[in-house]
Amino acid sequence: MASPPSLQSQIYRSLPETERSEAIVRRISTAISLGMLRVGERLPAESELSEMFGVAGATLREALASLRDQGVVETRRGRNGGTFVVQSPATQEDQLRQYLRDTSIADLRDLGDEQTAVASAAARLACDRAHPKDLDRLDQLARGLEHADSPETQARADSRFHIELAVVAQSPRLTALEIRLQAEMGQLLWTPLAGVFDPAAAAREHAAIAESIREDNPDKAQRLVLEHIRRNTYHLIDTKLTLTHAGEEQEIP
């Protein structure tokens, strides 16, 4: 299933002049990690990508070569050829663990507050703006966690649902903010650094949020989003406290 045009506009939006091939690598890698681009999906043609990113062809080819070297994409020749996503970037657990140790509880709480504001606004707008086909897609993505069998696929399914919530709200700005937030916290939430996050509970909460939007009940949708993200934030804080405590114990002679 190819990414819808509203997501493609976020993935391939024009880059500032100061950003070059490294920015393209980050943009595409993040899109794959968040489930916005799926394994097996073909990227737009190089000429289209160059135009969408606003870069020269040589810059784009350098970025694609880097992604190929990382094993994230591969380029196939022939009539049905092109550049295809072949795997998600590897999760760097050491970096995630260090991020949590370096980030204060207040900053984690603030991160949750920001996502609550973004997702709550998206949920209310979705009740007013979503088309029936959008609601069907949201329902489908809400069930994504039921089929995810690893921390990586769980993180992608979770992030993709939250991003889609902003997409069906028809707000490019909220979508861009949600993508940034998921890039920052999606892997943190699901990588088992100190404890396993409950995918069944998250799946039920996703389904309830999607159902409240289908019912056109913005107050209920907002309340469910608030409770869902609060639970996510508590998990991150608990993980940080566990890692910090373990680090302190190791330092005791």
More confident residue, 221 or 249: 221
Mean pLDDT of 70-96: 90
Sorted by sequence, the CB contacts under 8 Å of residue 170 that are 6+ apart come out as 6, 125, 129, 130
Say yes or no to pLDDT of 18 above 60: no
Distance, CA of 66 to CA of 128 (rounded, Å) = 42
User: What is the model's pTM?
Assistant: 0.82
Architecture of domain 5-85: Orthogonal Bundle (1.10)
Six token digits for residue 68: 């190929």
- The pLDDT of residue 252: 39
Say yes or no to pLDDT of 208 above 70: yes
Q: Which pLDDT tens digit goes with each residue over 64-81?
A: 999 999 999 999 988 888
Domain 93-251 has CATH 1.20.120.530: yes
Distance, CA of 115 to CA of 178 (rounded, Å) = 7
Residues of the chain with CATH 1.20.120.530: 93-251
Mean pLDDT of 12-34: 82
Pairing between β-strand 82-85 and β-strand 73-76 as defined by DSSP bridges: antiparallel
Residues of the chain with CATH 1.10.10.10: 5-85
